[in-house]
Structure 1
Amino acid sequence: MEPTFLKSILDNDFYKFTMQHAVIKLFPKAKVRYGFINRGKHIFPSGFADLLRKSLDTMANLRLTKDEKKYLSHYCPYLDPTYLDFLQGYSYDPSEVQITQEDSELNVIIEGYWYRTILWEVPLMSLISELFYKSNHLIRLNDDAIKEVTKNKIDSYNKMGVSILEFGTRRRHSYDVHSLVNETLRTNGAESFLGTSNVHFAMINNKRPLGTHAHEWFMFHAAQYGFKMANSISLEHWTQVYGGDLGIALTDTYTTDIFFSQFDKKYSKLFDGVRHDSGDPVEFAEKVISHYIKMGIGPKSKAIVFSDSLNFDKVKVISDFCKDKIKMSFGIGTNFTNDVGLPSMNMVIKLTEVKLDNTHWQGVVKLSDEKNKTTGTPEMIALAKQVLGI
């Protein structure tokens, strides 16, 4: 079987580039490790690791083109020209990724300087997903059927009058399906479809890419500054780099309750809103609205971006609750890019360890609002809970 080739260095989620920009400024010497977590217990066929390695090796040839650089300069003016010059000279180094396979179990470890390795996670997951379906010879719906499924979904969201974002790069069925979905959303999205987190497809759509930061931003800060200070210093550093742009804060790295206890009036006013990624979405919305009222801020001036395993029914329930209370939008991932008549994959690649200046490797922790999304060693999880009083 032939390897899969990515078509662009921008075929990645936007928050990877925004975080890379910030890491280069603030933590250029930090080293990290990421690990693959097979949550769905998927069985990988013999030879899968070799196929993934061949596909990954071809990524070393990707380069930022002049047109892509011009696009970023126009749509993302908060990215420094020096960073865009860096990105133009950047190339993936496949030696940063170790891939092994024991029977049907796939193991992937990424290691190196954070400012370099931060770009691997999303395209690597999209390759694993696409190659999984190819190597198992699983047949998807045809192109017309995928377009019809996507059109029906966005038509329903149009009628509901909600704002929809496409967040499905990591676990997409394939590049071709992702392209079909974005083409259909662009054609039929009317006022509902705001765009995509995938920078490559955002450029094709002639829209600005969407996204801010991910859990790893907060996880690294916990290792550097301690669990109690992780949220506050993460937000402070973000505002240092972006000065109010990209103002949607992720809340659940160390549970939403801990986050809001530290999301003081300064940050509550400075950030445009928050992102929901785990736990009950309506309970979350209630907490957000109550928090802004407590801070003396009108909730209608703020926004929630919901992004946790959404489908039409979930969006309807959330929209009915939030309507006329707070602004909202919905980042829909796998339900758009992997609804092809096959079971979608359940997998992640997460930051596992960091190595700060002149120190040893240190494990990192994520304490989600859902237990199955918590990551880290039992010892580090227990320590984080003890320190944070959870």
Structure 2
Amino acid sequence: MNPLLNRLQPYPFERLRLLIRDITPNPALRPISLGIGEPKHPAPALLKETLAASLDSLAAYPATAGLPVLRQACADWVQRRYGVTLDPARQVLPVNGSREALFALAQTVIDPTRDLERGGAVVVSPNPFYQIYEGAAFLSGATPVFANSDPARNFAADWGQIDEATWSRTQLLYVCSPGNPAGAVLPLDEWRQLFELSDRHGFVIASDECYSEIYFRDEAPLGALEAARRLGRDDFRRLVVLTSLSKRSNVPGLRSGFVAGDAQVLQAFQLYRTYHGSAVNPAVQLASVAAWNDEAHVVENRALYRRKFDQVTPMLARVMDVRLPDAGFYLWARVPEDVCGGSDTEFTRLLLAQYNVAVLPGSYLAREAHGVNPGAGRIRMALVAGVDECTEAAQRIVDCITQHRSR
């Protein structure tokens, strides 16, 4: 077996299962899960209709490069959304959702034989983080290094924690904007800093932007391609952006997204994917064209999330340290010190046992780095269910904290 597999850590939801294995949730209350970030809003009818009408396309093998009509639809969406012009033949590549591509990209760009005398290749990511980043680093033969989130800056990653010696060994930087779990969006000045570091040390930047269409203010979140264009980097050198329809269009089971950016990186990535056998289902491609070409269902989806966050955030803010994120569908809340001693794991157990609400301990989404685990003492709540269900869950959390404090 590949010995690098031994470096992989259990996924957060496996750790959660073990944490609560002896818990019997309160049977008097219906279960409500805020633990998994799986969209629950209905999938758009136009996408389902196109998918059903495209089943005859299953008779043909799909090309790794994807259908030209899909690449064009993705490029057109980027133009409408970010004002960025892409060559759909060279700068866009359909993928089976951003998760698959985030992992595979590291296998494409990392050279594990480089810098061995200085400790080997490094992959930098924010902390807390999407665990695929860490697994991709390990299985590419690199070492993951983490930049902790900074609560003073709405939980944006503190890239200044990475020293120059580490940046000099870095071959890939994962950025998540809007972030998971705290929803922070990188501003233009921060992109300028990261691009300068990439120019100095030659690493690729992979910008994970799967939450970009769920936001709560009038101005849409800045994307990496848009930032590059505004900074005069129209060749998008060493920059790739990954996004998907999962959150935007409520179709996580469709497994459809795309990667865009540096044509040279995408050429190598397409070669890897050709051997990896990861071409997108042709019916899925045609349904994806319909989804990327339609914005009405996205506006409706965003309005539903805004309603939930408008109702839930003030309720929870009365008893917890929690704030509206820049974007995304998570709330990142601190457990009060006078409840379970501020422990995210103990509060998770208490909440499930007494109020039948499932959340995810924040410490499971992070690693100890620079002397701390930046997720410790926090919980992640995914507001993916309906408005009424999320509001009911919030009230139960308020009741749980209030009751515990009164003892």
Could you say which TM-score interval applies, normalised by the shorter chain?
0.3 to 0.5
Q: Which has the higher contact order (CA 8 A, sep 6+)?
A: 2
TM-score, normalised with respect to structure 1: 0.38
Kindly name which structure, 1 or 2, has the bigger radius of gyration based on alpha carbons: 2
